[in-house]
Amino acid sequence: MIRARDVALPGRLEPLSLDIEEGRLVCLVGPNGSGKTSLLHAFAGIGAPAGEVEIAGVALRGVPLAQRTRLLSFLPASREMSWPLVARDVVALGGATRAQAKAAIDALELGPLAGRRIDRLSTGERSRVLIARALAPEPAVLLLDEPTANLDPLWQLKLMAMLHGRTAMVAMHDLDAAAAHADRLIVMDRGRVAADGPPNTVMAGPVIAAVFGIEKEGGRWRPLSPSAGPRSLP
């Protein structure tokens, strides 16, 4: 579904090539500044990335605007909006039809909030409105930067369930949630892919400790002890 060749952002993301099959939920994890957002930016065509990205066989570069909204949606990590639009109008801004916007509002249970100004909603409610905006045009691929941030536990679960079965790349910080929901887990480190594979394999390998400097002991994460040796990638 996604075919990326030599995609790079100067100074932020080393050149990388990836293929992602249809219907796969790919979670991106990595420390702050490791390149999760940069990878999503590069795939969404933000910041003049180098390389080629194809979605459903269509090269993104130069694709007409109307077709592009059917191919991909990007949700930024920021939940701020400059203009005090009503929630319903925000959802419609992403290029969705009226029926699609209505369906997205229903899916995110925003009905009672639809007529309210977005700057008067709580951060979590605003997140749901912006997620609905990203989902509404029913794009082939979703690129979501920390969609679960600010959501309550129930909504985090509901959202991940909604994403299941869709082609999506999702950056997140919660390692356990990422491992639990992802079909494929990508670990980013210093602008490169440090590990890429089924969540169980990646989580069991040494890369988590090497990249994050944490380890699991008795079911709880804790910082690596200084005696654990130098931080190096396998």
Where do contacts with another protein occur on this chain (CB under 8 A)?
41, 44-47, 63-65, 68-69, 72-76, 78, 80-86, 89-90, 93-95, 117, 130, 133, 143
Strand ranges in the chain using DSSP code E only, listed in sequence order: 2-9, 13-20, 25-29, 50-55, 58-59, 72-75, 141-145, 168-171, 184-189, 192-197, 214-217, 220-223
Q: What is the CA radius of gyration of the chain?
A: 18
**113: Cα within 13 Å, side-chain hemisphere:** 26
State the nearest-atom distance from the C-beta of 169 to another protein, in Å.
13
Which lies closer to another protein via its Cβ, residue 63 or residue 157? 63
Q: How far is the CB of 32 from another protein (least distance, A)?
A: 18
In whole angstroms, give the CA distance from residue 181 to residue 138: 21
Smallest gap, in angstroms, from Cβ of residue 101 to another protein? 14
d(Cα 202, Cα 175) in Å, to the nearest integer?
11
Cα dihedral across residues 9, 10, 11, 17: positive or negative: positive
**CB of residue 104 to another protein, shortest distance in Å:** 14
Kindly tell me which of 115 and 124 has the beta carbon lying closer to another protein: 115
Torsion of CA 181, 174, 94, 119, to 10 degrees: 140
Instruction: Map tokens 């039809």 to a residue.
Output: 97
How far apart (Å, rounded) are the C-alpha atoms in residues 20 and 2? Answer: 5
Nearer to another protein, 36 or 181 (CB): 36
Residue 118 or 160 having the CB closest to another protein: 118
SS3 state of residue 78? coil
Provide the minimum distance between the beta carbon of 6 and another protein in the complex, in angstroms, as a whole number: 20
Q: Which is nearer to another protein, 75 or 187 (CB)?
A: 75
Which distant-in-sequence residues (6+ apart) come within 8 Å of 47 by Cβ? 9, 12, 41
Nearer to another protein, 85 or 103 (CB): 85
Least distance CB 135 / another protein (angstroms): 13
